[in-house]
Chains A and B, each alone.
Chain A
Amino acid sequence: MIFLVAFLVGVMLISAIAASIFKDLMNAVIASCLVSLIAAILFYFLQAPDVAMAEAAIGAALVTAVFVIAIRRTNRYEE
């Protein structure tokens, strides 16, 4: 159990750093979506299933959609 949580936190950290490094903004949005998704799983492990539900629906789905729509209207690549 503790190894699974440690692995998830590691992936979360890597994708959070990757989201700030990527020059292709679409990749950065997907990486930040992964951060939210793993945060939802961790909330579930911390016995907060209601927060996990809200995080998965809003953080992983709706916020990602809003960012993708914004990228479609502006530049995809960061200079």
Chain B
Amino acid sequence: MKRIISFILLAIVALGITLSLLNIPFGMPKTKVGEHYIKKGIQETGATNIVTSVVLNYRGFDTLGEVTVLFVSAIGLSAVLATREKKIAEKIESASLVLYTGCRFLFPLILFFGAYIFIHGHLTPGGGFQGGAIIASAFLLMYLGCRERRISEKRTKIAESLSGLVFIVVGLIGLAVGGYYFLSNFLPKGTPFSLLSAGIIPIIYIAIGFKVGSELAFIIDRLMRESE
């Protein structure tokens, strides 16, 4: 009986979603703001990646909120797990030689790729969040292959706090110098398609990359330590 009711409910929900989706004209611009970003984005922000110019310039304050959400979740996780501090097992079973060598070989390459993603965030697809996640997955690989290596908790905290400070200080300088909104671009825009362009956007994305990478690596470290 329960199953039949749930199936009927699901069917009603599916019908409602289908009917409402049928009326949306896909591919038609609904708002004017998107057109403005596409046409004037490069000229106004200097970033050739329009997604980046929206995320860090037009909607910079929202990005501060996103970064804060990640920060709060990392703090919450460490608060939950810190109450049960355990000693790390003395003898850790080491991985096989192939896995060990492969992980040690791949680790710097993945770090390099993550850094490339967030340094070129204003030119090519990707940015601080993606680069940070890639860097955290490099640390995850390290934890799988070379299990005796640990990241230093203190250093992740320092990297995380410093990059957060850089984000807020640059945003506040923009508020004071550049104009009337948070994260306004006060540095020269430079020529598009070159690495040193788009004013403060590369600085902010490098800060976000470090912040996200160290937070996710810290979360992975905490969970791995808890599982042993």
Is A54 part of the binding interface, using a Cβ–Cβ cutoff of 8 Å? yes
Give the interface size bracket for A toward B: 10 to 19
Nearest Cβ on chain A to B76's Cβ, whole angstroms: 14
Contact B220 A53 (CB under 8 A): no
**10 A-B contacts (beta carbon < 8 Å):** A49-B125, A50-B51, A50-B127, A53-B126, A54-B129, A54-B130, A57-B136, A62-B136, A62-B140, A69-B226
Is A65 part of the binding interface, using a Cβ–Cβ cutoff of 8 Å? yes
Beyond known contacts A69-B226, A69-B227: 20 more, CB 8 A cutoff: A50-B127, A50-B130, A53-B130, A53-B133, A54-B129, A54-B130, A54-B133, A57-B130, A57-B136, A61-B133, A61-B137, A61-B140, A62-B133, A62-B136, A62-B137, A62-B140, A62-B216, A65-B140, A65-B220, A73-B226
Nearest Cβ on chain B to A62's Cβ, whole angstroms: 6
Cα A25 to Cα B152 in complex, Å, equals 32
Is B223 part of the binding interface, using a Cβ–Cβ cutoff of 8 Å? yes
Cα A53 to Cα B130 in complex, Å, equals 6
Which residues of chain A in 34-61 are interfacial with respect to chain B, using CB atoms and an 8 Å cutoff? 49-50, 53-54, 57-58, 61
Q: Given the complex, which residues of B lie within 8 Å of A58, measured CB to CB?
A: 133
Nearest Cβ on chain B to A68's Cβ, whole angstroms: 9
C-beta contact mask, A17-32 vs B, less than 8 Å → 1, else 0? 0000000000000000
Cα A63 to Cα B215 in complex, Å, equals 14
Main secondary structure on B side of the interface with A? helix
Residue from B49, B117, B136, B226 in contact with A53 in the complex, judged by beta carbons closer than 8 Å: B117
Is A66 part of the binding interface, using a Cβ–Cβ cutoff of 8 Å? yes
Interface set of B (CB-CB < 8 Å, partner A): 49, 51, 117, 125-127, 129-130, 133-134, 136-137, 140, 216, 220, 223-224, 226-227
Cα A49 to Cα B224 in complex, Å, equals 30
Contact B227 A57 (CB under 8 A): no
Q: Given the complex, which residues of B lie within 8 Å of A57, measured CB to CB?
A: 130, 133-134, 136-137
Cα A66 to Cα B140 in complex, Å, equals 10
Nearest Cβ on chain B to A69's Cβ, whole angstroms: 5
Cα A57 to Cα B226 in complex, Å, equals 22
Cα A49 to Cα B133 in complex, Å, equals 15
**Residue of A with least CB distance to B127:** A50
Cα A61 to Cα B143 in complex, Å, equals 13
**Residue of A with least CB distance to B137:** A61
Cα A58 to Cα B117 in complex, Å, equals 15
Contact A69 B130 (CB under 8 A): no
Cα A65 to Cα B217 in complex, Å, equals 12
**Residue of A with least CB distance to B222:** A69
Cα A49 to Cα B134 in complex, Å, equals 14
**Residue of B with least CB distance to A54:** B130
**Residue of A with least CB distance to B136:** A62
Quick one: given A62-B136, A73-B226, are A50 and B125 in contact (CB under 8 Å)? yes
